[in-house]
Structure 1
Amino acid sequence: MCGIVGLFDTRGKRSIDRQLLLGINQVQVHRGPDEGEVYTEPGLGFGHRRLSIMDVSSGQQPLFNEDGSVVVVFNGEIYNFETLAKELSSRGHTFRTHCDTEVIVHAWEEWGERCVNRFRGMFAFALWDRNQEVLFLARDRLGIKPLYYSLLDDGTFVFASELKGILAHPGFIRDMDVHAIEDYFAYGYVPEPKTIFKQAYKLPPAHTLKLSRGRTVLQPQSYWDVPFTAHSPLSLEEARKELIARLRESVKVHLMTEVPLGAFLSGGVDSSAVVAMMAGLMNEPVNTCSISFGDPAFNESQYAQKVADRYHTHHQVGQVDQDDFDLIDQLASLYDEPFADSSAMPTYRVCQLARKRVTVVLSGDGGDENLGGYRRYRWHLYEERMRSILPLGLRKPLFGLLGNLYPKADWAPKVLRAKSTLEALARDSVEGYFHSVSIMKDGMRRRLFSESFRRELQGYGAVEILRRHADKCPVTDPLSRVQYLDMKTYLVGDILTKVDRASMAHSLEVRVPLLDHELVEWISGLPASIKLRGHEGKYVFKKALEPYLSDDILYRDKMGFSVPLASWFRGPLRQRINDALLGPVLVDTGFFNGAFLREMLDQHQSGRRDYSASLWSLLMFESFLRHVLNAEQVHASGEGLRLVHFA
């Protein structure tokens, strides 16, 4: 795994400041501590930080083709590179290394932009073809590896694996995007292709970007999508057998490495399935690691130990203290923009633990999105059945009124917490799902933001993100549609972002066999009825795994990877959250309604309401302003919201 950066002059061949390029490359040293190189020519500069995984003795980057006319910097793994290398060699290409990076330059020579369709793996790369004077960027199909870019005012195009690489360029203007702020407080992250900054973007998953001198229009192009193409009819038993065969094959492909390898083992279905497959494929015991929490409501370590005992793994458990607050400010610097998934804290710790023994780990990420595992899917299908009975014209006034009248009861048993469901039934399908995944609902965000900030939004709402993806969804059944929406938003914007930054902070490579695109394609074609059956999510997956995992692993309630925010904000973090919400950094932005901030604090700390997720999102936003931007004041300028920062 690596970090890549680059500078490209879109207006001519101005010389590249080599010291600037070295500095930008160095801010990503954590992504590749083993080696760092830069390359420059008139109008172009590439930088690379290397974490040696394959062909450790060679494979340094930037890497060139035979005559030096094509150069690439690459972050990721191409798992089918040996097959591709044989095919390309038979077509006359000469290889000097045994690493997957070299396949990219020759595949470009042979197939041009279509080369990305031949790659199986996780990747983000930039390639310069001097003969064509073309800069070509690409990101893998599911967005496992990140890639950011910006076109500066002087015509310089800059890209990097992390936003901090772009922030290191002195020509980058740090104006915040008001739409991205609205998105963040709805989703808890800034969805692709936006970043928190107006001048920077994420290259979306399964997209490429092609630039040439004299052309400054940036138009990413899609090259793949989750197909959801139905298979010929399969019995449940046939689906079970083929699913295991395909999972085993994907795990086998992901074992390719020349350095120590292991796996995350949470005790949940997905990570346990990966470990079970690894144990059947490896000649030595699997290195596994998990995190233990002091609070039993958040602790799955006993289940992880059962799987470790069954498969005789070399298991390591790290204890996370219930009051592990040291990471709060560090997280802001880690993610470079506001990021409100509190499970980033235990994820950081388990990566820290794993790196003590291995350089590569396999994880179970992607199973819920692929196979219908989230509880919210079940609720969404229930709501969809209700929506099908009554037209929106009747539902909206009826359930809207009931939702307004029904009291908010965070303290009550779930069966009595009907307010959110009633509010969702008053909406159409996409709005209803947006309502279910939002950290702060529409009404809360209206109260959160100041009048001046709402005017800046000019009617924009974060639900538009889901609507844009829903319009492109290739399937109509309700389960597949929300799975598709999650793959385009939550999976890449939250889950994969969280894991990439937390792992690369420790120079650890994380691989995700459940997100192998061939496996994803096949799973997408399974009937929704065997993914979610009754109350059982991932039904076919669990049935397939019954010979490999016990029922108490497969069929217990999902716990997740959470931290006890609600009690933290009423106890040891009480003063910290008060200072953040009521202090000068948030107040002076002019973005927020101070009276509502006080109301949220009072109601949460008194126990009347649970605002823990909302409070955490505000804490992370305030920390971002202080630690990433060194902010003392944010104000609305005539050109939109602009940050004034002081180094």
Structure 2
Amino acid sequence: MCGIVGFVGERDNMQQILQGMMDAIAHRGPDGQGQFIEGPAALGQRRLSIIDLEGGKQPMFNEDGNLAVIFNGEIYNFQELTAELMRAGHTFATRSDTEVLLHGYEEWGKDLLQRLRGMFTFAIWDRREQTLFCARDHFGIKPLYYYRNEDGELLFGSEIKSFLAHPGFKKELNEEQLPLYLSYQYSPGENTFFKGVKKLMPAHWMEWKNGTLTVQRYWQPRFSPDDSKTLEEWEQEIGDAMKESVQAHKIADVEVGSFLSSGVDSSYMAALAHVDKTFTVGFANKQYDETDYAKEFSEHIGVKNYAYRITPEEYWANLGKIQYHMDEPLADAASVALYFVNREAAKQVKVCLSGEGADEFFGGYNIYKEPFTVSWYDRIPLPIRRVIGAVAEKLPPVHGVNFLVRRSKPLEERYIGNTNLMDERRKKKLLKHYSSRTLPTDLSRPYFAQTKGQDAVTQMEYCDLNLWMVGDILLKADKMSMANSLELRVPFLDRRVFELACRIPTRHKVTAEQTKIAMRGAAEQTIPAKTADKKKLGFPVPVRAWLREEKYAAVVRDAFNTPAAEQFFNVKELNRMLDQHISGKRDNWRQIWCIFMFLVWYDEYFVKR
């Protein structure tokens, strides 16, 4: 696990520029660093040593020295690929999974990507062809950003903040991303909050040659339900697949631990992994505290649990640091708790397993129950539902009204992902420079088109797999673990697990009463039924309550009345929204937090720096 940076474009002081970029992401790899500079190419890497501690240094070269690679991630099938490549005549100098990328690229070219099982971003420089080739893993577990400046230079890296050290980078806010963020609570799609900076999307490669940049998708996840098996058969297959995946994800030359909340995903993971240590965070407020459960469950499976209770003071004190590490604003309050659990785990281990991906693969979100609830309402002709929804939209946004508004539209018009914080009417009131140039549905629509004819739950899963999981779940997992120099591995997000999950029929995933049906059944073979059947809580955080306390409401109000807030928002409307929440008239905490996190992030990148 590492961080990578680089650029293509000859300049004076290339070594100094590259070092500055590497220093900006030193937290991703405190164990070492390496550089390659030749002609127009500059490649840099910061290393967190996990596999082949002595021999895995980067940049790494192939036998004749023509190819140089820098790599962030882990290739879990590197041993079988190594054996296959050795049979084909390749000579390996290390035991590192990094070397598989070099020889695999020599042997198979871009087709190497179809053979990889793991989480990765990497860059290969071909010295003879003067070509840069970069790729990102199938599900987007590891991030990669890129930027082309006016001089035709290409910058790339694991984190946007590394670009700030390059004199050819022009730091400008992309304000067009703000309306999308207010709906999604994260920065969706390939564009970012920095003008010109793009994300290399999951399952994509890019190639720079002779000043031309080509970006292309190399793999597409597909759901293709198979009705031929019973629920019990699916449960058995899930159990077998997860046991194998967890063992593959434990390959390391350092100790591996596991995160543990009160949910089925992390509990199942910890039980399968047979690690020695689990890590949990909670809060003093019992409603938001999972530490007692974690201690009890850890004792049940015979491992030591390390629990930490976050105080409100330290939660709020670290918000600026956390938004800085995110690179882009993220309004998921659980990301802060994730920072602390990673911090505590990093004191004991270098690698931790976590449960991301189970909800998207196996139907875990409560919103997936919606197609099965009040289904009679959907039988009302759509034109009538649209009229009802138009009337309801003018009413205060309470629970029943929200239902009427949502169900007045077909799924592809209303569902943009697991979170839809603000509609266009709300954003028009809040924003000084509202733009409808790109609507949230413009991003989600292609995923509904690609799953046309499939059931509603499958369409929602596919949408979340491509938007929510990448933009929120995996973003915070990568950035919060790397901020603490900890490698986070996600055994659910494995190609072999997906090859199974994509064939499970919806009836074995979700009903009006239950989510993750087949996966819970598989988990029951390993953990107690009361844990396997536990209702999904997410990562509970007491922000709603804190925002009604004078001390913390004052912090937000101060932010809402800064010049930055005045620049982007209708400040009077912000304060009204906060007043409503404090008084208890409305539950506005998510909307308040979303705007507050943007302002905290903006302060980090455009006021302080």
- What TM-score do you get using the length of structure 2 for normalisation? 0.96
SS in 2 for 1:560: coil
Q: Indicate how the Cα distance of structure 1 residues 70 and 384 shifts in structure 2: closer, same or farther if over 3 A, else same.
A: farther
Question: Displacement, 1:461?
Answer: 1.6
Question: Displacement, 1:497?
Answer: 0.7
Give the corresponding residue for 1:4: 4
Give the corresponding residue for 1:39: 36
1:530 aligns with 2:508: yes
1:278 aligns with 2:273: yes
Q: After superposition, what is the alpha-carbon deviation per residue over 1:254-289, rounded to whole angstroms, capped at 9, x for unaligned?
A: 01000111100112100011111112xxxxx52111
Selected match of 2:384 from 365, 386, 394 = 394
Give the corresponding residue for 1:325: 316
SS in 1 for 2:3: strand
SS in 1 for 2:269: helix
Give the corresponding residue for 2:119: 122
Write the distance in 2 (CA, Å) between the matches of 1:108 and 1:350: 37
Question: Displacement, 1:552?
Answer: 2.4
Question: Displacement, 1:97?
Answer: 0.6
Selected match of 2:232 from 237, 246, 262 = 237
8 Å Cα contact 2:78/2:97 also seen in 1: yes
Question: Displacement, 1:94?
Answer: 1.0
8 Å Cα contact 1:148/1:201 also seen in 2: yes
1:506 aligns with 2:473: no
| AA in 2 matched with 1:270 | D
CA RMSD of aligned residues (A): 1.7
| AA in 2 matched with 1:131 | R
Write the distance in 2 (CA, Å) between the matches of 1:459 and 1:350: 39
Question: Displacement, 1:382?
Answer: 3.3
Give aligned pairs, total: 607
Question: Displacement, 1:403?
Answer: 4.3
Give the corresponding residue for 2:347: 356
Give the corresponding residue for 1:308: 298
SS in 2 for 1:404: coil
Q: Indicate how the Cα distance of structure 1 residues 74 and 528 shifts in structure 2: closer, same or farther if over 3 A, else same.
A: same
1:223 aligns with 2:218: yes
8 Å Cα contact 1:228/1:474 also seen in 2: no
Q: After superposition, what is the alpha-carbon deviation per residue over 1:280-336, rounded to whole angstroms, capped at 9, x for unaligned?
A: xxxxx5211111221122122232223211110121111112443111111221112
Selected match of 1:432 from 397, 414, 438 = 414
1:246 aligns with 2:223: no
Write the distance in 2 (CA, Å) between the matches of 1:626 and 1:306: 42
Give the corresponding residue for 1:520: 498
8 Å Cα contact 1:24/1:165 also seen in 2: yes
Give the corresponding residue for 1:269: 264
Question: Displacement, 1:383?
Answer: 6.7
Matches within 5 A, 1:188-587: 188-215=185-212, 218-231=213-226, 233-279=228-274, 286-323=276-313, 324-382=315-373, 386-387=377-378, 389-405=379-395, 407-409=396-398, 417-434=399-416, 437-450=419-432, 453-454=433-434, 457-473=435-451, 476-571=454-549, 572-587=551-566
Selected match of 1:160 from 157, 177, 202 = 157
Write the distance in 2 (CA, Å) between the matches of 1:342 and 1:351: 15
Write the distance in 2 (CA, Å) between the matches of 1:384 and 1:427: 14
Question: Displacement, 1:214?
Answer: 3.2
Q: After superposition, what is the alpha-carbon deviation per residue over 1:42-81, rounded to whole angstroms, capped at 9, x for unaligned?
A: 0100000000000001111011101111111000000111
Stretch of structure 1 that moved more, 389-398 or 324-333: 389-398
| AA in 1 matched with 2:323 | A
8 Å Cα contact 2:5/2:44 also seen in 1: yes
Question: Displacement, 1:229?
Answer: 2.1
8 Å Cα contact 2:185/2:419 also seen in 1: no
Question: Displacement, 1:581?
Answer: 0.6
Write the distance in 2 (CA, Å) between the matches of 1:473 and 1:289: 38
| AA in 2 matched with 1:423 | V
Write the distance in 2 (CA, Å) between the matches of 1:239 and 1:547: 13
Stretch of structure 1 that moved more, 288-297 or 435-444: 435-444
Q: Indicate how the Cα distance of structure 1 residues 45 and 79 shifts in structure 2: closer, same or farther if over 3 A, else same.
A: same
Write the distance in 1 (CA, Å) between the matches of 2:154 and 2:206: 12
Q: After superposition, what is the alpha-carbon deviation per residue over 1:99-122, rounded to whole angstroms, capped at 9, x for unaligned?
A: 000110111111111111111000
Q: After superposition, what is the alpha-carbon deviation per residue over 1:500-543, rounded to whole angstroms, capped at 9, x for unaligned?
A: 11111111000000001110121011000000033100011111
Q: After superposition, what is the alpha-carbon deviation per residue over 1:224-247, rounded to whole angstroms, capped at 9, x for unaligned?
A: 121212336111111111110001
| AA in 2 matched with 1:36 | Q
Question: Displacement, 1:437?
Answer: 2.1
Write the distance in 2 (CA, Å) between the matches of 1:433 and 1:81: 39
Write the distance in 1 (CA, Å) between the matches of 2:44 and 2:453: 41
Write the distance in 1 (CA, Å) between the matches of 2:417 and 2:115: 38
SS in 2 for 1:354: helix
Write the distance in 1 (CA, Å) between the matches of 2:306 and 2:359: 25
Write the distance in 1 (CA, Å) between the matches of 2:374 and 2:196: 39
Question: Displacement, 1:223?
Answer: 1.2
- What TM-score do you get using the length of structure 1 for normalisation? 0.91
8 Å Cα contact 1:303/1:553 also seen in 2: no
SS in 2 for 1:338: coil
8 Å Cα contact 2:370/2:512 also seen in 1: no
Question: Displacement, 1:491?
Answer: 0.7
SS in 2 for 1:319: strand
8 Å Cα contact 1:298/1:559 also seen in 2: no
8 Å Cα contact 1:53/1:259 also seen in 2: yes
| AA in 2 matched with 1:538 | K
SS in 1 for 2:416: helix
8 Å Cα contact 2:417/2:464 also seen in 1: no
Give the corresponding residue for 1:607: 584
Question: Displacement, 1:381?
Answer: 4.4
| AA in 2 matched with 1:556 | K
| AA in 2 matched with 1:329 | G
SS in 1 for 2:573: helix
8 Å Cα contact 1:289/1:350 also seen in 2: yes
Question: Displacement, 1:16?
Answer: 6.4
Q: Indicate how the Cα distance of structure 1 residues 117 and 436 shifts in structure 2: closer, same or farther if over 3 A, else same.
A: closer
SS in 2 for 1:601: helix
Q: Indicate how the Cα distance of structure 1 residues 220 and 214 shifts in structure 2: closer, same or farther if over 3 A, else same.
A: closer
SS in 2 for 1:513: coil
SS in 2 for 1:400: helix
Identity fraction in percent: 36
1:619 aligns with 2:609: no
Write the distance in 1 (CA, Å) between the matches of 2:178 and 2:249: 37
Write the distance in 1 (CA, Å) between the matches of 2:460 and 2:220: 15
| AA in 2 matched with 1:573 | Y
Write the distance in 2 (CA, Å) between the matches of 1:569 and 1:237: 46
Matches within 5 A, 1:67-146: 67-146=64-143
8 Å Cα contact 1:276/1:548 also seen in 2: yes
Q: After superposition, what is the alpha-carbon deviation per residue over 1:401-443, rounded to whole angstroms, capped at 9, x for unaligned?
A: 23434x444xxxxxxx211111101222122223872122322
> Which consecutive residues of structure 1, in runs of 5 or more, have no partner in the other structure?
280-284, 410-416, 632-646
Q: Indicate how the Cα distance of structure 1 residues 605 and 124 shifts in structure 2: closer, same or farther if over 3 A, else same.
A: same
Question: Displacement, 1:187?
Answer: 0.7
Q: After superposition, what is the alpha-carbon deviation per residue over 1:462-507, rounded to whole angstroms, capped at 9, x for unaligned?
A: 2211113322337611101100111111111101110111111111
Q: Indicate how the Cα distance of structure 1 residues 475 and 491 shifts in structure 2: closer, same or farther if over 3 A, else same.
A: farther
| AA in 1 matched with 2:159 | E
Moved over 6 A (4+): none
